[in-house]
Amino acid sequence: ELILSVKQDLAESPSCVLRKAFFYFCRSAMLAFSRSFFKTHFLQTYMSLSQDKVATVRMEFAHSVVFIKPYLD
């Protein structure tokens, strides 16, 4: 399944660069998919990256919240 592949290849990648790329994917996904679809398939994974072991990933999460949060209200 494509959704699982995106989560595994980006959000769960051992590479912090790919984990940060997941945030860019999420920004685009919010524009392409409905809120409920995003919440169902990506929100939990997105939120889990707020606890990432790498500081730059956590910083990217903080920056991405500005773009994602308006769609979740």
Examine the pLDDT at 73 and tell me if it is beyond 80: no
- Spatial separation of the C-alpha atoms in residues 68 and 46, rounded to whole Å: 10
Q: How many other C-beta atoms are found inside a 10 Å radius of the C-beta of residue 20?
A: 23
Q: How confident is the model at residue 70 (pLDDT cuts 50, 70, 90)?
A: confident
pLDDT at residue 14, rounded to an integer: 98
End-to-end Cα, the chain, rounded Å = 28
What tens digit of pLDDT does each residue of 35-48 get? 999 999 999 999 99
Could you give the C-alpha distances from 16 to 12, 30, 36, 61, in angstroms and in order?
Answer: 9, 22, 27, 12
- Spatial separation of the C-alpha atoms in residues 2 and 29, rounded to whole Å: 13
